């Protein structure tokens, strides 16, 4: 049986999670987006795990800076990543539709999800989705290399995946994201319930219990940018009625709140 934990990284600055999947029976582990290495090495050694592979979603340093040290410590590890990435420590480059088989009972499909960056990919199977900085709990990544048009397309791709998928993102920005979500979508009862139930233990080791993609579809404004009640608000802010423009207007709105241009408290 595969277990999953989230190891905090870049705590206090970027608040990343490095997701570690492991099988105690075979003593194999797989790591997603190691932006740092020492805490991953410590965890693997403490649990007598060998690192079999690293999955990379995109080129940002907070997702890749631990890879060189991990490769030095675990000689057998294969690094998977986007075909389109400029990052050069990738052993196997992936495009949309490719399948990554990590073990007899662990494999992923690749989805190209550009927008946050131009090279971003996500990994999913029948149960799990690792979408890094494309979609966060209650929010999404900023546009740092891709375009709003790509981002809107990528979100719609994720929206078409199964509601049952357990959803693993790369940053602990939940409190901030849900505050913005409640500001722009105050009448959403599922969101209000989610706010009440949310407990954040960061930077403790994340035990891997996460929400579903179906829940995100109900509460995350960036999954709902082209639906009411968000759409009317975005049109009132001057957005054209295209997915790219609606998404861009919502993203800019959140950026203004993050920058203190607009105060939501
Ligand atoms: Zn990023």
Residues whose beta carbons lie less than 5 angstroms from ion ligand 1: 60, 133
Position 265 confidence tier, pLDDT thresholds 50, 70, 90: confident
Please tell me whether 171 is known to bind a ligand.
yes
pLDDT in tens, 152-189: 999 999 999 999 999 999 999 999 999 999 999 999 99
Find the mean pLDDT for residues 146-156.
Answer: 98
Segment 179-218, tens digit of pLDDT: 999 999 999 999 999 999 999 999 999 999 999 999 999 9
Q: What confidence tens digit (pLDDT) does each residue in 71-129 have?
A: 999 999 999 999 999 999 999 999 999 999 999 999 999 999 999 999 999 999 999 99
Cβ neighbours for 173, distance < 8 A, ≥ 6 positions apart: 15, 136, 137, 138, 139
Q: How far is the CA of 240 from the centre of ligand 1 (A)?
A: 27
Tell me what pLDDT residue 183 has. Answer: 97
All structural domains of the chain with their residue ranges = 2-258
Question: Annotation-wise, does 62 bind a ligand?
Answer: yes
* Ligand 1 center from residue 62 Cα (angstroms): 7
- Domain 2-258: give its CATH architecture: 4-Layer Sandwich (3.60)
- Average per-residue pLDDT for the chain: 97
Predicted local distance difference test score (pLDDT) of residue 205: 98
Give residue 26 CA to ligand 1 midpoint distance, Å: 32
Checking if the pLDDT of 248 tops 90, the result is: yes
Ligand 1 centroid to 45 CA: how many Å?
28
Measured in angstroms, how far is the CA atom of residue 201 from the centroid of ligand 1? 22
Q: Tell me: is residue 60 an annotated ligand-binding position.
A: yes
């Amino acid at each position: 049986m595969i277990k999953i934990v989230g190891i905090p990284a870049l705590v206090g600055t970027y608040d990343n999670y490095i997701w570690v999947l492991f099988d105690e029976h075979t003593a194999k582990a797989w790591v997603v987006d190691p932006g740092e290495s020492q805490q991953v090495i410590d965890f693997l050694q403490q649990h007598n795990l060998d690192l079999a592979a690293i999955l990379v979603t995109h080129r940002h340093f907070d997702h890749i800076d631990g890879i060189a040290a991990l490769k030095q410590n675990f000689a057998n590890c294969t690094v998977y990543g986007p075909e389109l990435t400029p990052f050069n420590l990738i052993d196997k480059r992936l495009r949309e539709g490719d399948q990554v088989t990590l073990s007899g009972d662990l494999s992923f499909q690749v989805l190209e999800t550009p927008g946050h960056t131009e090279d971003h990919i996500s990994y999913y199977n029948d149960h799990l989705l690792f979408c890094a900085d494309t979609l966060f709990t209650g929010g999404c990544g900023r546009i740092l290399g891709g375009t709003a048009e790509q981002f809107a397309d990528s979100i719609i791709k994720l929206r078409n995946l199964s509601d049952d998928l357990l959803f693993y993102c790369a940053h602990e920005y939940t409190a901030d994201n849900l505050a913005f979500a409640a500001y722009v979508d105050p009448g959403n009862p599922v969101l209000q319930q989610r706010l009440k139930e949310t407990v954040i233990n960061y930077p403790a080791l994340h035990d891997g219990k996460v929400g579903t993609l179906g829940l995100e579809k109900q509460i995350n404004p960036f999954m709902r940018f082209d639906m009411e009640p968000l759409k009317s608000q975005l049109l009132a802010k001057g957005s054209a009625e295209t997915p790219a423009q609606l998404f861009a207007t919502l993203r800019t709105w959140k950026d203004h709140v993050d920058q203190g241009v607009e105060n939501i408290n």
